[in-house]
Structure 1
Amino acid sequence: MATALAQGVARREVVVEAAAKQFAKHGYDATTMRNIAASTGILPGSLYYYFSSKEELFAAVHERAINHICTGVVKAINPEADPWTRLEQASRGYLDAMLNSSIYASLIVTEFPRRRSKKLRERLIADRQRFEQMFVEIIEELPLARGVDRSYWRLALLGMLAWTYVWYKPSGDPPGVVAGKLVSLLRDRTAA
């Protein structure tokens, strides 16, 4: 019984990984359950044993992508460091995780929740908020100049970091250097 359960879990993981690659390559709308099944060797109807719909499968893939990036952020942070250092570390962890795993990055950067059903949109937004909360907590501790709106500050930083997916070239500065420069751009103009 335990072996069958382990095989089921392993097969589910194969489906999620294959779906991630298909969604990254073709986008949500152009990817079909048949595409995903073909890339796994599983019969198309058998996919529905693991996921009731393409939407549910995409939600699982998106959650995995967010978890991957959150893990990268958490691993990069020294909780004993000052807030500016922790922010640079979190930013570096985000870029390292995103730029070194383009499949997951493309899902987060290019698939916008507003184009999806309400149920899927709520799930994607909840994933994103869980990720952003790590930055909210650090930014709340930053010594910013009076009158600086921390919500917009956070959105500006996260937007700059996310956009690196579009322009980053591995032959340029490493992700950690890019993260430090982007944080500095905001810090130099808004620090108290």
Structure 2
Amino acid sequence: MAGTIPKKRTRELILELSVPFFAKHGYNGVSMRDIAAAAGLTPAALYYHFPDKEQLYINVVAHEFSGKAVALTIALNSPETAWEWLKKFIETLANLATTDEYFLPLMQRVRLDSNAARQHKLAEYVFKDIFIAVHNLVSELNLRDDAHMLSMSIFGLIFFPLEMGAIRMSMPGYRPEQTDPTVLARHVVDFLHTGIKGIAGEKS
């Protein structure tokens, strides 16, 4: 029928429109009716594309993360030393977290979601490949310590200062340039470099 939006495009439109809803309100604060209204669809039409809210949510997080995953994978596969790979990855992630309006808020909502089964699905479907890549890189840099914990620490060192927002700005020693993703990335890399080398040196 003339003027009908292709099914694939309708699905992409739903995902794009859903990102700010879930980023601002979290899983429990969004209804399928809200998304349907934003997309100009009936609830029945929305359910045609996504069988339930959880499946929509998982696809929304994957949609928001997919483009970032490409950039992060490229950073992790540059023909450099392991430390250069790690530096590029951290710079890329910090830049993405500060330049995309909804990426960091959505990741905060994901982190605070108390539904373990849903988090497991997100881990498997969305985040696992990138985490494995970081885990493998960290293992190459430091064979003596817990690569899982070191990998989680890397993500925490990047996201936590950004999540603190205005609170951090009110703390002693704050300077505006510290919110620059390049400055943040350099701090994280320097901290990890000193820490990992120091720990490895103590145990060697």
Which TM bucket (shorter chain)?
0.7 to 0.9
Separation in 2 of the partners of 1:73 and 1:176?
A: 15
Q: 1:151 to 1:117 in 2, by over 3 A?
A: closer
The residue type equivalent to 2:26 in the other structure is: G
- 71 and 176 in structure 1: CA distance in 2 versus 1, 3 angstrom threshold: farther
Aligned equivalent of 1:172: 177
| Identity fraction in percent | 22
- In structure 2, the CA distance between the partners of 1:121 and 1:39, relative to structure 1 (3 Å rule), is same
| Superposition pairs of residues 142-161 of structure 1, within 5 angstroms | 142=141, 144=142, 147-161=144-158
Deviations 1:85-126 (A, max 9, x none): 1101011111122222131322222223862262x3332121
Structure 2, unmatched stretches of 5+, are: 167-175
Do the aligned residues in 1 keep the contact of 2:76 with 2:89 (CA within 8 Å)?
yes
Q: Contact 1:113–1:121 at 8 Å: present in 2 too?
A: no
1:114/1:37 Cα in 2 relative to 1: closer, same or farther (>3 Å)? closer
For each residue in 1:45-92, what CA deviation from the matched residue of structure 2 results, as whole angstroms up to 9, or x when unmatched? 210011001110001011123323212212334621111111010111
Secondary structure of 2:80's counterpart equals: coil
Q: CA RMSD in A?
A: 2.4
- Contact 1:68 1:97 (8 Å CA) reproduced: no
Matched, 1:162 2:159: yes
Aligned residues: 186
**1:105 aligned partner:** 104
Runs of 4+ in 1 over 3 A off after TM superposition: 75-78
Say if 2:34 is the partner of 1:35: yes
